[in-house]
A and B are shown apart, each in its own frame.
Chain A
Amino acid sequence: MTTTFDPSALPQLQQQRIERPWRRKPPIFTWSVVLATLIPLAIVGWIYWSTDIPGAIVMTVIYLPLQLIASGVAAFATRGRRGILDSVIIVNAIGATLFTLIVLLSVIGSLIARGITAISAHFIYQNNVYVSPSTPLEYGGIGHAILGTVIIVGISMLIAVPIGVATAIYITEVRGRAVPYVRFFVQAMAGVPSVVAGLFILTIIVATGAFQQGAFAGGLAYAILMLPTVARTAEEVLKLVPEDLRTGALALGSTRARTVLRVVLPAARTGIITAIILGVARVIGETAPLLLAAGSADATVVNPFGGPIAAIPTYIFNNVALPYPDAVARAWASALVLIVLVSILFVLARVIGRGRLSSK
């Protein structure tokens, strides 16, 4: 006896629609949300266009309370008294988020609007030697300042990263008696104003004649600012390394040093990289330390000990207040370049940080 396969004998697959039952809302809900959004906007729009009250005041004094009341009424209509507090909190949260976004976007927007005119290929790689404040935008660039920033930040990384990571290791792995004091000092260091870091290097390195103004002295000043950020972030990521891994390594006959170097640090590798990038982002826009410790220059300087050197923040500082529109445009463009550099760093930190989460 043989049976042949008969497809029609199979039960028919039901065509079911994808649904999300928890999102089903009564019609009154939809309508009250629509009305609670449109009515305040309509009222505010009418007030704004028909009176002379400034927009900022209309938004803060009239629109926000109005929106709160409207949402409260809508929530009351759909969910009763319990809904009111909910809606107040949600409206406030959304409003605060929008406010932050608007501030941020207007900063970036104005940077782009004012800086874009001066941006060009030669602006990125040429230097400032044959350029005076009145030179038109067809000539010159901030290549020397970009290079200077890279050199100075590089030097500060060479100094601050090993010390910062070592400090974090002392706090989380060595766990010596001095941990509370070390942590206190690192926190206090995070509060040092950047101009103080610059003054410190100026007085003990430059004024004593040990080294002249330049990339090395500027890097030292940056390192002072970078160190607490790196140390504290690295401490946080080392704390995330499960204790099991440390005991596991010790139970295999590992010394404490090998445990840290071969197990704990590799497990926290991506987090440490994030800490370094955050440290760089912390200092890269600092101006005061460089004005004091690094000086400024128009030519391209490569030698860290070769005298005053340009950097993006000092370039901006020197140009933005000049009475020449082209110099001001260059300053804005430099600020744009700086923001782009920092954004790249943060995106890098995010990407690497995500890698850590996915690999557990």
Chain B
Amino acid sequence: MSIAESKGVDTIQTPAVTDSSPTTDREIEMSTQDVSVWFGKRKVLEGVSIDFPKRSVTALIGPSGCGKSTFIRTLNRLHELIPGAALAGSVMYEGKDIYDRDVDPVQIRLKIGMVFQKPNPFPSMTIRGNVLAGLKLSGMKRSNHDDIVEETLRAAGLWNEVKDRLGAAAGELSGGQAQRLVIARALAVQPHVLLMDEPCSALDPASTLKIEETIRDLSKDVTIIIVTHNMQQAVRVSDRTAFFLAAENEPGHVVEQGLTTEIFGNPQDQRTLDYVNGRFG
């Protein structure tokens, strides 16, 4: 069920601050409204409102320390695990605020998967075991494990490299392979949304390209939100871009958001123009 059906149109029509592009041609999978984040007393994010259309790729760009990673972790309730974390505003998904009292964070994380900056395969498990780990850990029942393993490893672009050694320890994989393994692991629980926090920052160019291909393929079925420092990558993989910026000792906020072609080709804000042209950050 989409937000539009359950919540009424006003949810999706909330005017995104500087978003000039129409979003109504696509259903909204997920959206944030006025999200602010604190660590202790320090406010690190202010008033972030972004709509994420279904089956689109949204890139979050901006200089280090502007709160992109913090923001992405609010979207699947990993943020709350940090001691001293606080949050205001709402994160709407399937017509509900995921921070509502009766929402189980475990269910949210099951539907909104995540890939981290550093590959984190479970070292005590085999390659196959890692792919299926999500099913075991979440108690999700899916039959035909062999098919799931092949399907998700193919989707992550790793199948050909590991098909003959699925029983090997996951620790034997190279960094790029391990990252594709954790993408496969995230896909095995069939998430509707996939959050990626700088998934390529530790990888070589060849692995990066493979993962970008994977992202493009996945976006046919899954809504993807990706944090990246690599501007070319944002252009290559994303449909929409949001530019985050934090002034010194100020919380980060979204300066500009919209279609990637617009943000990079015809930015409205001088700071966006400077950033995407590499003049700061």
Contacts and interface: CB of A to CB of B under 8 A. Distances in A.
Interface in A215-264: 242, 244-245, 247-255, 258-259, 262-263
A249 B110 CA distance: 10
Contacts of A24: none
A267 B124 CA distance: 5
Contacts of A255: 106, 137
Contacts of B169: 359
Given A249-B122, A253-B107, A253-B110, A244 B116 contact: yes
Interface in B106-148: 106-107, 109-111, 113-114, 116, 118, 120, 122-125, 133-134, 136-140
A263 B118 contact: no
B78 interface: yes
Given A247-B116, A249-B122, A252-B110, A360 B186 contact: no
Contacts of A65: none
A254 B110 CA distance: 8
Size class of the contact patch on chain A: 20 to 34
B78 A360 contact: no
Given A244-B120, A248-B182, A263-B124, A254 B138 contact: yes
Interface majority SS (helix, strand, loop, mixed), chain A: helix
A186 B256 CA distance: 54
Contact of B140 (A250, A253, A266): A253
A245 B123 CA distance: 9
A262 B113 contact: no
Contacts of B189: 252-253
B134 A253 contact: yes
Nearest to A268: B124
A251 B122 contact: no
Most buried by B among A248, A263, A269, A360: A248
Interface residues of B, number: 30
Contacts of A267: 122-124
A263 B134 CA distance: 11
B76 interface: yes
Contacts of A247: 78, 81, 116, 120
A251 B114 contact: yes
A248 B110 contact: no
Contacts of A254: 106, 109, 134, 137-138
A245 B120 contact: yes
A250 B109 contact: yes
B123 A253 contact: no
Given A244-B118, A259-B137, A251 B124 contact: no
B63 interface: no
B74 to A, nearest CB: 13
B81 A252 contact: no
Nearest to B76: A251
Given A247-B81, A252-B185, A253-B189, A258 B114 contact: no
B192 to A, nearest CB: 12
Contacts of B109: 250-254
Nearest to A360: B171
Given A254-B134, A255-B137, 11 more contacts: A242-B120, A244-B120, A245-B122, A248-B116, A250-B81, A252-B110, A253-B107, A253-B137, A253-B140, A263-B122, A263-B137
Closest 3 CB pairs of A and B: A253-B110, A254-B137, A266-B124
11 contacts: A247-B78, A248-B120, A250-B81, A252-B110, A252-B185, A253-B134, A258-B136, A258-B137, A263-B122, A263-B124, A263-B133
